[in-house]
Structures are given as structure tokens and as C-alpha cells.
Structure 1
Amino acid sequence: MCTNSSRPLSHESCRRARLARDPRFDGVFFTGVLSTGIFCRSICPAAPAKEENVRYFFSAISAANAGLRPCLRCRPDSAPGSSAWKGTQTTVDRALSLIDAGYLFGDNGGSLESLAEKLGITSRYLRKLFLEKVGTSPNKYAQFRQLMFAKQLLHQTDLSITHVGLAAGFSSIRRFNEVFQQTLALTPSALRKKRGTNMSQDKHEQGEVCLSMQLAYRPPLNWQKQLDFYRLRMVEGMEWDNKAEGYSRSFQIGNVKGFFEAEHDEAHHRFNVTIHLADTQALPVLKEVVTQIKRVLDLDADMAQIQTSLSSIDIINNAILDGLRLPGTWSAFEAGCRAILGQQVSVVQATKLLNLMVNANGEELTLSGRVIRLFPTPDAIANASLDELKMPGARKAALNAFGQFVSEHPHASVDDWINIKGIGPWTVAYAKMRGLSDPNILLCSDLIVKKKVLKRYEELHGTTEHLVKKSAKNSTDNMPTAINYKAVTEQLESNIAPWGSYLTFQLWNLA
């Protein structure tokens, strides 16, 4: 079996996937070649090693802990990430997600104690969980992620080695070189010499930073459906599609502002992404920017596992759209605003309102020769008149109150929004699904979901005694009964967990 895997694959499954160079397993497991001392992705183009010299690992760090180095041909640093929602243990999954996004990186990163506090446990218990589930300490895991991100930047960009170290969270170039060589048995400069020349040249003009990266995913991916979803809801100046059927948008993290352009490369199962930042001072948050882009595009989803779960749901199993992913927004706050504006109106009308709100309250700036608009900050929405919006005053008041709450409580849980007047369970659930990419949101209160569930259930099952509402007036046997929607959806939520959000999008796309 793959060592320590939370979703164990048999040795034979790994062997077949490795020999077939199956991209569906890219990042799900890694192949350690004991005779050479390296580990590879399942799609490595090198001649396959003899099986007796091979050992399989569920993560790159477990292979590194076994004393193996990452392959320079297939570059494990570029493999799709494993979903943070593997179902092993919620606390560890959340910790891995936060660390992967850069929580412990650099001088301005959080401490292990603050990470533990954020998770609601002690730092001692967090260390224990990591040793049990990951096989190493949180700090060593974070350092390994730093190095793998640095390795990816060294391979794919022409950022200087100093800037690569800065972007990876190292404040000292000496420390960066030292740790890199100790762990990967190669200096950053030596790696640069080995990378070849078939890569784009990044631009750094007038203090701005423009760099290109390749972000891989495991097929299948239904990009056309995902792009259509974005197009229908686009905000002018904040989002746009490009000539290669790609998706682009502006973003802001703290004081860092920029935009990215993502071009789909279906043949290589990846997106070619160009990131534009205002200046090199933004490099310390580059890891967070990349993590956010991957989340927005849902590139780390293991669709084979998700669709296996979907196929067990009888109302959808014969109508599953292959590769349908979660199209995210940049932030939970943005998703919350979209949800409030979308209450009781069509998607087209909600998008018109959203465009008016962003145009009136979002900052405009010029970057890399392009005029872009940023989504309004919570403070801007809290203090906005919203006169541009032709909608009920109660909904404007809800937007103002929402902006004020998030401005005053930026780290509050999305679940706390339910206490804001004008925000209900549907808005909270929608924000978690698109703004946090929570994979387990079956949006039961959504009207379209309800119609599709009831229609499919009636077509397949009719009504059964334990799933009907008994009318108070059904004193005769001829009185019709209605399907108990609550009972049906409770059963669906139980059967599809933890992939309820994917079922929601499948239902939204049912004919």
C-alpha cells in the first residue's frame, strides 16, 4: 500500500498507475526509487524503475523523510496538491491547509502556538497529531512546503534567487541556501543551471512584478462549464476571459494588490498562470496568492474520488457531468456580498447589481498597463450609500451591516454572520461553498436544488412511506401526499459527505 495514506491504494493500483503514467493519480501518491534515491510523480517521463526498487508514498514529505530527493525531470513540487479535505481528521486537515497557504512562513508568519489556538487545541496536542498523521512536526512540514515552493519558483520563473527566498518565506538568503542544500542536496543556484531554457521570461519593470507559473490538476476537468459559470457572473474590470478560453481577475490580500491570468492547457492538465503584483514588496504573500488561485479554480480536487461518491447517489448517478468543479470567489466576503445581492432575484439581475456596486465602491488602479478594479473592502461597503443599487432598503442595510461586521471582526467565522440582520442560512452556506471552497455544502435551501431533488426523486422512487409528509386533511386514502424534502436531503447529506458542494453544482447543471 501507499505508506500512511488516508485513502490507501493497493500496491498493485499504484504500480499500474505508475507504469501507465496516469495523470488521474498525479499528486495522490509519489514513487520512491530506492536505487537512485529520488522520488517522482506518477506521470514522470523517465524510464520506469524495476518494481523491486520502488516504494510508494502518499505525500512528498513522507518520501523526503525517507531520505529521498525530488526528481528534477517530473518535479514533484509542481504536482497537484492533495485536497485538504481527505477525511482523515478535521483538525489536521485545517492545519495542513493553513500551513500550505503560508501561515507559518517568514518573519510575519504566525507562530505554532497561534496556529494551535486558531484550531482550538494546544500546541503540544498539535505536534502529537502531526507526528501521528503526517509523520513529522508542523514546523518541519512548513519548512518542507517552503522549500518545495521555492523549488517551483526556481524551475518556472526567472525571479532572482534572493526574491525566490523572500517569496518562500526566508528572510535570510544564507539561511535559504543552507536549508535548501541540506534538504534537497542541491543549492538554488545549481538547480537554476539545471533547469534548461524552455521557459517564459518574467518581467520586473518600474517596481512591478510579473511572473508565470504552471499549476497542474488531476483530470477530469470540465473547464467549459466552469468558465461559463464565471462568464455569467463576471464583474467588468474585475474579471475577464482571455483569447485562450482562460479566466482572469484582480485580487487583494491585505495591502497587496494585483491580478492573475489563467490559460487552460488541457493537453498537459495544467493552467499557465501569469501573476501581476504591484512591487517586489508583495513577494512574501506570493505563496498565499498561488494557494488562492488554486482554490478559486479548484485545482486540487481529486475528481476520481469525488465522482465515485457521486455515483452512489441514485438521483444523480446516471447524469453526472464529468469533471465539474467548484468555481470559487477570491474571498468569503465577496461571496457573501454576491449572495446578499442574489437574494430573490435572477442571476442576471444579481450580476447587474454586483457590477454597479463594485464600479461605485471598488478601487481602480493601473497595473502592467491594464486598468483593473478591485472588489470593495468591507470598510468601503460598511460606509457606502449604495444609492446606485435599485433594490429594497432592507437589503442595502444588510450589506452595510455585513461590511461593518467583517471590517470589525475580520477573523470571525462565517457561521457568525447569521447574527447579522438580513443574512440567513442560504447566504452563509453559499459564502462557505464559494468563498471558502468548503466541499461539503449541499445547498438544500436553494430553490433550484430543491426543484431538481424533488423532480429526480419522484422520477426514480415516487413516494415512500417514510419520506412523505402526511397532510392533516388526508382523512381518505385518496388524498395525495408530498415528499418530505427534509428527510430526503438529510439522507443525501449523510450519503454524499464530505462532497455536498459537488452535488450542489451537479444539481444546478442538471438538464
Structure 2
Amino acid sequence: MSSAASPAALPDPQVCERARLSRDPRFDGLFFTAVRSTGIYCRPVCPAPAPKPQNVDYYPSAAAAEAAGFRPCLRCRPELSPDAGAWRRGDETVARALKLIDQGFLAERPLADLAARVHLGERQLRRLFVERLGAAPVGVHGTRRLLFAKQLLTETALPVTEVALAAGFGSLRRFNAAFLEAYRMAPRDLRRHAPDADEAGSGRGQPLVLRLGYRPPYDLAAMLDFLRGRALPGVEVVDERHYARVVGSPDAPAWLRVGAWPAGRDGRNVPAHALKLELHGVPPAQLADTVGRVRRMFDLDADPQAIAAALSTDRRLQPLLRKRPGLRLPSGWDGFEIAVRAVIGQQVSVAAARTLTARLAARHGHAVALSGPEGLTHLFPTVQALAEGDLDGLGLTAARATTVRAIATALLDGRVDFRPDRTLDDFAAAWTALPGIGPWTAHYLAMRALGHPDAFPAEDLVLQKAVPSDGSRLTARQLAARAEAWRPWRAYAVIHLWRESMVPPDSKEKKP
């Protein structure tokens, strides 16, 4: 086996050692422990007896550990670790490339295309990945697919052929060969070691239930409260314990529900720092995308320690971070939906915006009949439907209707998009070129549609009043200057200040 990855890509070795010995869940996914005597790599929270330090190597990613020849632990299950958010968020080149890999970019395209999308040479991109993550992009892609397959084999009763499809493999033969080479056992053999699968749904009449891990602390109540205040009737149902919505297409409608994983520990004595995702009718080919959207929507890969360390240097934010250490950045299910809702919500109350958007969804969305929670009746309208649909009589002003059509048309012709590899500046520049879209809306979209951690609507009146402690109000320029010290986590400062102010942000854009 090769030597461990460069310590520069890891937390300090002494920190790793203390976190491993204490099984500190705050470090879950930030590094992995590989045991040379067994050939197994684990999460820091693994409940197995701690190996001797001289037998341990630390790796910055699961892909790095697998590239060195180690296999994932069947007890602590590395596939449940949250991603290392520092490498998957923001505008850093590796982060933008990882977002594309997470969406399956390398499944059908060569590495050269990925490098071109992030404006680097292929060799330079590979070097950056090895420096940061300890593995090349193709290795990261392969590990991601196999670990997702491992989760499905462990937690569900999906047929192996459907697991292969869900993990992005073109054939069962290729999947079996890749799995056997990496993990030294066939997929069916792994399932024999997975007691969870016997109790899980197969997707045929029963829901698929998946565990989505996060690093504590996590304030699910605050997340649901934010989403409940903006829940779109017919499309979403949110109560104090769950978020549910219609997903899929008119030909294959489905629905999902997200809530807390049952308290306590699982059967392997691993702390259950996770959300519970129920999937009803989601086809195998859409499982990876669905899980990725939910992870982004509920901000499950954030690193609260890194965020707090950066923001707590500001005295205004210190008490907010202490009060709500588990507050996360709530995103939305679909970029187009968030854009439409943001435009409709400009300069009106949240309640009024919900009413107007619900009318639009009822008229132009596709009606569905689901056996889910009461109130799930429609898919949100497609881009094509709103580009061509009649928006008269819904209560929208002429300007708002024009902007909604302009957004739909611009998405169809490619002038704007929600590509995850765009930098924040590029994204904002493209969107503010549209009529009716100002800097506030562009940065709000970056927050809610992309989950961008550094988006910052400096024009927001609530923020301008919330930051000073003397009752004054900052200008947008003054606020932006103050927030420079909050990079690259300015969006988290926004959420803390909005939450503290308890004033809905959707209605606060002022047009120049």
C-alpha cells in the first residue's frame, strides 16, 4: 500500500489522533483513518476498538484511502460521512470541479472536458486534486459511485441491476467488476452482511429509506421553520417534523419526505447524526440526483467548526453563533422554481408571494395523484410552460409577469443557468443582465438555488439595519465592506442575521 497522503491536505495529525480516539463526530468526513494491519479505512466515529497509532494512516478523502488500497469499513460505513464541505463549496477550482463530478460529469465525458469547464489543463487539475484530496478526479468519481452503490446495497432491497443503474454504471457486468476490484467482494456478498436491507423497501410499493449524514450540531427545527414559512401549497408540505414535496416528471411523478433520523444509535453503535430520506416512486436512474439535491437543500455537508471560526471574529456575529450553532443554509429543490418565487416575492409579503405562486403552480403545473401526505397535488411548472403560458389574471403585476417570462426564455436560450461550476461573480453578472433582476435577487438565487456559501445580498434592508448595534443603518457599500472579513462564509452570516431579525427576507429587495 502507498504511503499516506500529504498532511497539508488534512487537519493537524494531532487533531486527527484526538478526534479518532474520542470518536468526535464534528470531524466526520474531514479525514479517514486507514489501518495498515487490516487494510480497512474508517470514519473518525467508528465504534471498533481503536487500532495502535503505529498502524494508522490518515487520508483527506475516501477516494485517497481507496487509491492507497484500503477497503471501506462495514461497521462505520464511510459512505454515510458528509462530504468535506471546504472542498465542495464556493469558487475554488477543486470545489467547482467536485460539484460537476457529484452531478455525474465524468460518467460520460473525459477528464479533459472537466478540466476545460474549470479553465485548467488536464494535468494541472489532476495535480490539484491529488494535493487537496489525495486522489485524481477519476478516482474521486469512481469512489463516489461505489460508495453510493454500497449504501443502496446496505440500506435497501433494490435489485443489484437497479443499484448499478442508480450508481451510474452502464452495465451490470461493469458494476460487478468494479465493485469486486475495489472491495474484494461481489455486490451480492456485501448484501449478505447488510441487515438493514432486509427491512428496507424495494421501491415497488414501499419507500426507499436512506440515511443522510451530517456533522453536528444541526438545527433541523430552524431549517424546517424556514422552509415551512415559504412552503408552496400543492408542491410542498412542511410541518414541525418533516419536509415533503412532489418530484419527478408528469410521466413519472414521485414524492419524498425528509425528517430526523430516529434518536439514538444504529445497530452498529454508530451515532446517528443523520436525516431520514423517504423516496416514493423515484426511479433508480434519478436516485443519485435526488439525494444530491436533498443534501444541498438541507446543507448536510457544511462544516460548522470552520464556519464559526471565520465568522466569530466579528463581535456582532459571536452571540448569534453561540445561540444557534447548528444553523445551516437552506437551499431550494430547483433553481428555476426558486427564481420564479424570488421574483414574485419582490416587495410583497411572504404570505402574498405564496398565494400568487400557488395560483401559478395550479394553472401551469402538472396535476398529480399521489398516495403521499395530503396537499401534494402539483409538480412545479416547467420552464417551457412559463415561457409560453398565460400569466394574466394571477394577480402578478405586469412587470413581475414580464420578468418571469424573461427568466424562462433566458434559461431556454442559455443566457442564464444554474451550472454548479460557475463562479459567484459570473453567476451574478449573467442574472443581473436580465430585466427585473437586481444584485439582491442574483445573490439570493446563489444562496437558495446553488447553496453558495459566500453569496451576499448587500442591498438587503434587514441586513443593513441588523449589523449596526446603535440603531443606525449601513449603506450597501458599507455592509459589503464589513462583510469582507466573513468570506468565504458570508451567506451563513446572512442566515444568522435574518433569523435573529425574524423578518422574512423574500420581500426586501429594493430596485435601483
CA contact (8 A) 1:30 1:42 kept: yes
The equivalences for 1:231-310 within 5 A come to 231-241=228-238, 245-252=241-248, 257-265=253-261, 267=264, 268-277=272-281, 282-310=283-311
| Distance in 1 of aligned mates of 2:86 and 2:367 | 34
Q: Deviations over 1:175-227 (max 9, x none)?
A: 1111111111111111011112575331443xx78411101111111111111
What amino acid is aligned across from residue 507 of structure 1 in structure 2?
Answer: L
Cα offset, 1:74, TM superposition: 0.3
Q: Do structure 1's residue 224 and structure 2's residue 221 form an aligned pair?
A: yes
1:327/1:339 CA distance change after superposition, 3 Å: same
Equivalent residue in structure 1 for 2:491, among 501, 507, 511: 501
1:272/1:199 CA distance change after superposition, 3 Å: farther
Equivalent residue in structure 2 for 1:447, among 442, 457, 461: 461
Cα offset, 1:404, TM superposition: 1.3
| Distance in 1 of aligned mates of 2:30 and 2:287 | 25
| Distance in 2 of aligned mates of 1:510 and 1:382 | 38
| Distance in 1 of aligned mates of 2:251 and 2:139 | 29
The equivalences for 1:109-508 within 5 A come to 109-197=108-196, 200-205=199-204, 210-241=207-238, 245-252=241-248, 257-265=253-261, 267=264, 268-277=272-281, 282-320=283-321, 321-368=324-371, 372-409=377-414, 412=417, 414-415=427-428, 416-454=430-468, 456=469, 458=470, 485-508=475-498
| Distance in 1 of aligned mates of 2:248 and 2:482 | 37
| Distance in 2 of aligned mates of 1:199 and 1:42 | 27
Mark the runs of 5 or more structure 2 residues left unpaired by the alignment.
265-271, 419-426, 502-512
Q: Deviations over 1:381-425 (max 9, x none)?
A: 112222243232111111111111112228636431222211111
| Distance in 2 of aligned mates of 1:348 and 1:5 | 51
| Distance in 2 of aligned mates of 1:272 and 1:452 | 35
| Distance in 1 of aligned mates of 2:495 and 2:412 | 30
| Distance in 1 of aligned mates of 2:74 and 2:405 | 52
What amino acid is aligned across from residue 283 of structure 1 in structure 2?
Answer: P
CA contact (8 A) 1:360 1:388 kept: no
RMSD: 2.5
SS of equivalent residue, structure 1 residue 373: coil
What amino acid is aligned across from residue 143 of structure 2 in structure 1?
Answer: F
1:367/1:120 CA distance change after superposition, 3 Å: farther
1:403/1:501 CA distance change after superposition, 3 Å: same
- Between the two proteins, the alignment pairs up a number of residues equal to 478
CA contact (8 A) 1:43 1:74 kept: yes
| Distance in 2 of aligned mates of 1:273 and 1:87 | 23
| Distance in 2 of aligned mates of 1:355 and 1:149 | 35
CA contact (8 A) 1:84 1:97 kept: no
CA contact (8 A) 1:246 1:261 kept: yes
Q: Which residue of 2 aligns with 1:466?
A: none
Q: Deviations over 1:121-173 (max 9, x none)?
A: 34344334334433333222211211111111111111111111111111121
- If the length of structure 2 is used for normalisation, what is the TM-score? 0.87
| Distance in 2 of aligned mates of 1:130 and 1:14 | 21
Mark the runs of 5 or more structure 1 residues left unpaired by the alignment.
460-481
1:182/1:170 CA distance change after superposition, 3 Å: same
Q: Deviations over 1:231-262 (max 9, x none)?
A: 111112211136x7011122348986532111
| Distance in 1 of aligned mates of 2:90 and 2:349 | 39
- If the length of structure 1 is used for normalisation, what is the TM-score? 0.87
Cα offset, 1:119, TM superposition: 2.0
1:284/1:6 CA distance change after superposition, 3 Å: farther
| Distance in 1 of aligned mates of 2:110 and 2:340 | 32
| Distance in 1 of aligned mates of 2:363 and 2:130 | 50
Equivalent residue in structure 1 for 2:85, among 83, 86, 98: 83
Higher mean displacement: 248-257 or 194-203: 248-257
Question: Considering only CA atoms, is the larger Rg found in Structure 1 or Structure 2?
Answer: 1
